[in-house]
Amino acid sequence: MALLLPNIKKKSLLIIAGGLLLAGLCSTVCVQAQDNTAGKTVSQNKFQRLIKKKNTILLDVRTEVEYKAGHIPGSLQIDFLKTEDFKKQVAVLDKSKPYLLYCRSGKRSKDAMTVMKEMGFTKLFDLQGGFNSWEGVKEQ
C-alpha cells in the first residue's frame, strides 16, 4: 500500500500537468482563431458579387476630386482623409449592413475599415487593389 501511494500521487500530478498543458494549447489556438482584422480584403470577382446583394452599401473613401474623376456606380463617397467628418458621416450609417469599401489602391479603405470596426461595424469588405484595379463599370 505504501508503494502505491507515491505512484498515485505521481499519476495525479501527471494528469493535472497534462490538463494544464492542454488548456494552455486550447487557449492559444482559440485566440489565433479569432478574427483580429478590421474586415476582409476580397478579390474583384467577390466584390462584384457582393455589390449585387441586397442591403449592401458601396462606400468610396477617396476624395471628392477622385470620385468625380470616376467611381463605381451606386457608391456613396465619404472622404477618409477628412477624418473627423468621415467619422461623423459614418456614425449615422446602419452598423448591421454589409459595407464594401474602396479607395485608389487599397490603403485608405483598409484604414477606414479599422475606424469603422472601432465604431461597431462588423460586415466590412475591402476591394483588393482598389479602384486602380477595378475592371467593372465606371461612372463619372
DSSP symbols for 83-111: HHHHHHHHHTS-TTS-EEEE-SSSHHHHH
Please compute the mean of the pLDDT values over residues 103-112 and round it to a whole number: 96
Please state, in angstroms and as integers, the Cα–Cα distance from residue 127 to each residue in 5, 33, 47, 110, following that order. Answer: 65, 23, 6, 9
pLDDT in tens, 18-35: 555 445 544 444 433 444
pLDDT in tens, 88-100: 999 999 999 999 9
| Distance, CA of 1 to CA of 139 (rounded, Å) | 87
Prediction pTM value: 0.73
pLDDT in tens, 35-88: 446 799 999 999 999 999 999 999 999 999 999 999 999 999 999 999 999 999
